[in-house]
Structure 1
Amino acid sequence: MAAGEPGDLGGYYFRFLPQKTFQSLSTPETTSRLRQWSMLGRIKVQAFGFDQTFQAYRKDDFVMAFFKDPNVIPNLKLLSDSSGQWITLGTEVKKIEAINVPCTQLSMSFFNRLYDEDIVRDNGHIVKCLDSFCDPFLISDELRKVLLVEDSEKYEVFSQPDREEFLFCLFKHLCLGGALCQFEDVLSPYLETTKLIYKDLVSVRKNPQTKKIQITSSVFKVTAYDSVGMCYPSTKSHEQTFSYFIVDPIMRHVHVLYHCYGVGEMP
């Protein structure tokens, strides 16, 4: 049987946790920034609980069981391509793809190299460059260049494993924003918002032996397909349309971070 196809799904049962709120997305400052980045009203986090021990090697079964669960189907939200309204899936998932996203970073010092490489000045201002396009994104500064332009001289400041880290993915998504994104001139709003959301989504604990803080969450980038084709996170593929499942195996919670590229709420 192909991975991610329904079969014996191992008896995972889910429950929606509407009472679990994510402050990082609702503070006035974050709301204001998401509006500026054209993401407000198009980004959402939802929490679900589950009842079995989570085993990362069975992630495909876990995700398929999630989409089949009667407590998920009426509660999992996505944006309609046609109306732009929040809707539920309303179609039967036939196949899923769940890509492992490494999640090991515990410090925002991960981004210090942006200062070291003159992508950001010491005063926090992002260095500008001549406008160019990396479809569909306008590149007008060195930050977007290092995020997007593979043949740029500073692209290798972040290695391929660095770029796969959930912390980097989150940062990049916030920097690129939605369809009418107004870019920041300074780095700090991106770093602060990335840190807030990351801390809200990812679980840590102190290792009893080493006494060091370690991340306990597993992260997957998830796509689902019905009989017609891709149905989640959208029927249209876009670098800025995504759904990440952040699984806390100890609390048995899964946080679903969702964004659909488009025009966010206006002031």
Structure 2
Amino acid sequence: MAAGDSGGLGGYDFRYLPQKTFQCLSTPETTSRLRQWSMLGRIQAQAFGFDQNFQAHRKDDFVMAFFKDPNVIANLKLLSDSSGQWITLGTEVKKIEAINIPCTQISMSFFNRLYSEDIVRDSGHIVKCFDSFCDPFLISDELRKVLLVEDSEKYAIFSQPDREEFLFCLFKHLCLGGALCQYEDVLNPYLETTKLLYKDLVSVRKIPQTKKIQITSSVFKVTAYGSVGMCYPSTKSHEQTFSYFIVDPIRRHVHVLYHCYGVGEMS
């Protein structure tokens, strides 16, 4: 994916939408789970509106315009590597990378293969295995093995296109958690939280002729660079530090899902 620069920003203006709340991250049950997974206070969802038609083939211009907009600069949150506190961007973005993330799945049956392939028992309990490491993650069950170990026996139950799907990405991020993650013994908390997050972030419509549900959102995994290197979502690269932009071209909203891997809850 080619990185964008500051030329040809397409005339987008953005506005922060603080009234948009993401219930998926604030219910007592989800809060408890995120604390257990060492993600509470380190994961954030924000909403912004924009004023022009979104064109997927010009996503680089869209993302660069986003980072240049004063309303974004003043309100987009990230965690400071130095202080560990929530801050706003405060850095001029010189270059961006926006990777297309497929978003086509409309059913959690996508994960049924975890049962049929004996990764998870019929009771919902995740099958354990001998401890091993896939740096920096401890692998103590078959679920994390399927997620991380490419030469494991059942890694192929999810194809590469499956693994690129936004639904799978969310599920994997929640399963791996933060730096002090306490893993679940059963699958359901991961599935429930993934479903809530997906439904809150992704927009759909029903096609009148067929009555089928169609996803209308476009999803990108976004990284931004300043004059001295990567500045967003962090200055330190990690698989569990990420920012996804979920663009609703009909409502003209962009949802930003952010997480920074690290130790401790941030207020």
Provide the TM-score with structure 1 as the length reference: 0.98
How far apart are the structure 1 equivalents of 2:50 and 2:64? 13
Tell me how far apart the structure 2 counterparts of residues 84 and 50 of structure 1 sit (CA, whole Å): 30
Question: Matched residues in 2 for 1:266 and 1:161: separation?
Answer: 34
Q: Is the 8 A contact 1:14 1:50 kept in 2?
A: yes
Moved more, 208-217 or 157-166: 208-217
User: Does the CA-based 8 Å contact 2:84-2:266 persist in structure 1?
Assistant: no
Distance 1:226 1:102 in 2: 27
> How far does residue 8 in structure 1 lie from its aligned partner after superposition?
1.5
Q: Distance in 2 between matches of 1:266 and 1:205?
A: 36
Q: 1:117: Cα distance to partner?
A: 0.5
Q: Deviations over 1:149-188 (max 9, x none)?
A: 0000100000000000000000000000000000000000
Cα deviation per residue 1:93-150 (whole Å; 9 max; x = unaligned)? 0000000000000000000000000000000000000000000000000000000000
Q: Deviations over 1:162-219 (max 9, x none)?
A: 0000000000000000000000000000000000000000000011232211000000
Cα distance, 1:263 vs structure 2: 1.8
Q: Is the 8 A contact 2:3 2:98 kept in 1?
A: no
C-alpha displacement at 1:50, in angstroms?
0.2
Paired residue for 2:66?
66
Residues in 1 aligned to 2:8 and 2:96: alpha-carbon distance in whole angstroms: 15
Unaligned runs of 5+ in 1: none
Cα offset, 1:265, TM superposition: 2.4
Instruction: Give the CA deviation at 1:90.
Output: 1.0
Aligned residues: 267
User: TM-score, normalization: structure 2?
Assistant: 0.98
SS at structure 1 position matched to 2:132: strand
Task: Name the SS for the 1:57 alignment partner.
Answer: helix
Superposed structure 1 runs of 4+ greater than 3 Å apart: none
RMSD, aligned α-carbons: 1.5
Q: Helix, strand or coil: the match of 1:19?
A: coil
> Is 1:139–1:145's contact at 8 Å kept on the other side of the alignment?
yes
Q: Is the 8 A contact 2:85 2:266 kept in 1?
A: no
The alpha carbon displacement at 1:2 in A equals 6.6
